[in-house]
Amino acid sequence: MSDNPGVANAYPAASVVQIVANSPGSANITVTVEDGRGGLASTAFVVTVVQPNGSPAINPIPPVELAPGEVRDMPFEASDPDGDR
C-alpha cells in the first residue's frame, strides 16, 4: 500500500511488489503478509520518484553569409533546465 499514490502505486504479488512511478516526489510503501492463521508481518520502505531529465535548449542561430575562404565564429546560447550538462 502506498501513502501517496499520486507519486507511486504498489501492487504486491507472491514474493514481489511492483512499484509504478506516477510523478516526482516520495511515497512510503508498506507491504504486509499474512499466514492465514492470524499471523502477519509488515515492512515499509520509501520510494523516491525523480524529476525526468529536461532537454537542453539552444537559441536560434541567425543565417550567415560568407565569402569563399572566409572563416567566422558564430556565438550561440544554450541552457539546460536541469543544470546537468
- Is residue 85 very low, low, confident or very high in pLDDT (cuts 50, 70, 90)? low
The string of pLDDT tens digits covering residues 34-73 is 999 999 999 999 999 998 888 999 999 999 999 999 999 9
57 beta partners: 79
d(CA 48, CA 64): 48
CB proximity list for 67: less than 8 A, separation 6 or greater: none
User: Can you tell me which residue has the cell 524529476?
Assistant: 51
